[in-house]
Amino acid sequence: MKAKSASERRGLLVGGNWIVDRIKIIDAYPQPEQLANIRAETQGTGGAAYNVLIALAKLGAPFPLHGAGLVGKDEAGKGIIENCKKHKIDVRFLRATPKAQTAYTDVMTEQQTGRRTFFHWRGANALWDGSDIDFKKLKARMFHLGYLLLLDALDAPDKKYGTRAAALLAKAQEAGLKTSIDVVSENSDRFVQIVLPALKFVDYCILNEFEASKITGFKIRDANGQIDPVAVRHAAGALLQQGARELVVIHYPEGAFARTRKGEDVWQAALKLPQNYIAGTAGAGDAFCAGVLMGLHEGWKLQQCLLTGVCVAAACLADATCTGGIKPLAACMALAKKFGFQPPVEKGD
């Protein structure tokens, strides 16, 4: 049976991390052996798969949503599956295992700055290898996988493809799906080893500036902490040279940049938000990713994809959880008119 092409398909399958975020708002991050006061506590979605799919559901994505991965056979896992069903997300490939508990992250968010520190338990996510997905039976148009570097079984070596994640992405492409990836921002030297093999089987690579810098070696922020637009372009170009087939998107708090295989460059400034608007920055990257993926699926112009990404990310910042601030698409886009935009970083070129 011939695989359907991406243009004949419809829907987005997202596989990867499913996490319960336990978010604590603290007065300040303490030094070792010192105390911090917890001012508020809440619970929310976490992980690329969970965050992106819930964000798309809340935006009102006009296409089917599918989830894939592993949760534990526990109350947290049951809650994740029930929440997905509530948002009309297909969970046939989201399964519960008795071998590990559902993954969780303790997110310490500083009250004044919104800066976050994460304490993560990998749990069931570490066991998921994607072997249960039958891409040929799915009618989805796109497969998004995240986060590389935080999926132990998929980060493992593969003799033919380099990593098991690369093999899974190749399988999706062979079935006719477009593929995209996201990466976790860990401070390690594993980026080249884990990410480069996968890039050969990726159509859309969506990363933040830290991750792009770790993979390519380009210093995207200068000595003053400012975005270097020349380095951003070089990093995007390098990621295309290293395998990304169609598009590289690099996002950062000040905005985003995209470069296509055809040589199109697009810049987009982030919204100019007042400090008291920002309740926390957890999930902003996944919210941006959800907005971009929505546009790519619907065939929007690249500028509109990036604009949607920064507007959805801005909506996310209004809540301490990863998806609590996401509203229907029109409400997210209205934030651009309300707040305006930051100065464009490419003007520093």
Each residue's pLDDT expressed in tens, for the chain with a length of 349 residues = 455 565 689 999 999 999 999 989 999 999 999 999 999 999 999 999 999 999 999 999 999 999 999 999 999 999 999 999 999 999 999 999 999 999 999 989 898 887 888 899 999 999 999 999 999 889 999 999 999 999 999 999 999 999 999 999 999 999 999 999 999 998 889 999 999 999 999 999 999 999 999 999 999 999 999 999 999 999 999 999 999 999 999 999 999 999 999 999 999 999 999 989 998 888 999 999 999 999 999 999 999 999 999 999 999 999 989 999 999 999 999 999 999 999 998 865 4
- The domains located in the chain, with CATH, are 10-348 (3.40.1190.20)
**CB half-sphere exposure, 145, CA atoms < 13 A:** 32
Whole-model pTM: value is 0.94
Beta bridge partners of 180: 144, 204
d(Cα 120, Cα 114) in Å, to the nearest integer? 18
Beta bridge partners of 178: 142
